[in-house]
Amino acid sequence: MEPTFDAAAKERALREESERWDTSKPEAARPGDVPVVDVGPWFSTGDTAALNRVGADLRRASETVGFHQLVGHGLPLELREEILGFAREFHALDDATKTPIRMDQPGHPGGIGWLGYGNRKLPTRATANRNAAFIIKCDDRLGFDDNLWIDEARLPGFRAAVERYAAAIEALALRLLPVWAVSLDLEPDFFADAFVNPLWRLRLSHYPPGEPVGDGGYGIAPHVDTTFFTLLLPDGPGLTIHHRERDRWIRVPRIDDALVVNSGELLRQWSNDRVLSTRHFADNVAPVDRYSVPFFFNANADHVMSCLPSCHGPDNPPRHPPVSYRQSQAAVQGE
């Protein structure tokens, strides 16, 4: 009988593991610690050789670090500046304006809306997360109208800007799928059917200034993402990752025009542990506010992810049971 995926047990194991991580001595990244992957030559030419080259670069990054800096992505600067600007304006609003769209209201989908400062969700941890966030989610069941939005009069243009950025970053994520497929020794269109109606979450996060790490609190507590992959737009440094080869926690530098990309638990399991799901946390030790916009990208919520054909064989049997997003620990986390 084929084993089944126990989402609750997986979530408990991840929480218990994260509580044992010693994050007290992060270091500055060395050159090359966080690889740079340039998709520009392939995006501009569509050339098979260019796709194979960037696929090889992604393979090295995803199998050795689990994070990379993505350049050549073509996401317009004006869209990036607009969404970060609206993130600042949204979080500057008074709590009374945001309370009507607070997360986990009865009668609304879970995991969307305003998540206030000091929350203990996403990820769920014993200590409070020192950030606030606005989150929307879409899939085959949820559209923009199903999410929670503040009164347009309080922040004119906010919803339109969020929808513009969401559409653009989703299009980029879909455009990257052939690179991920080639990096895993699959045909470029391998993932097409699995991402007809992808499930994604977009988060506009705010980290107040000067929050120290090491006293039991974080901007976002140490965790691994549940995702296929995540595309992060930061306005400054604040992300710290565990570099497996160095066995050190390192601070990820900000590179102009780059998005920070990492693979998550669902891709790690789908690839039979070939792709890393790297532990990380966020904070803000700077004297100014920090904002970031991560986009959490997944396959169709009900698509069952059985071990990829290029990632198992007679001497390397599948280590994980097939699972869909809706069956995964993401659901247990309240996403």
Name the DSSP class of 77.
Answer: H
Among residues 239, 308, 242, the alpha carbon closest in space to that of 275 is found at: 308
DSSP run (H or E) holding 329: helix 329-332
- pLDDT at residue 1 tops 50: no
* pLDDT, position 242: 96
* Spatial distance between the Cα atoms of 33 and 43, rounded to a whole number of angstroms: 25
At residue 329 the predicted structure's pLDDT band, cuts being 50, 70 and 90, is: low
The 8-class DSSP code of residue 284 comes to B
Q: What is the pLDDT of residues 225-238, one digit of tens each?
A: 999 999 999 999 99
Q: Which helix (H) or strand (E) holds 96?
A: helix 95-98
pLDDT tens digits for 192-224? 999 999 999 999 999 998 755 445 578 888 899
The CATH topology of domain 7-332 is Jelly Rolls (2.60.120)
pLDDT, tens only, 280-303: 999 888 889 999 999 999 999 999
> pTM to 2 decimals?
0.94
**Alpha carbons 274 and 217: distance in angstroms, whole number:** 32
pLDDT band at 333 (very low <50, low <70, confident <90, very high): low
- Residue (of 27, 2, 92) closest to 246 by Cα position: 27
Assess whether pLDDT exceeds 70 at residue 331.
Answer: no
Tokens, residue 64: 């050795």
How do the domains of the chain map onto residue ranges? 7-332
Per-residue pLDDT averaged across 122-136, rounded? 84
Distance CA 263, CA 197 (A): 19
pLDDT in tens, 246-277: 999 999 999 999 999 999 999 999 999 999 99
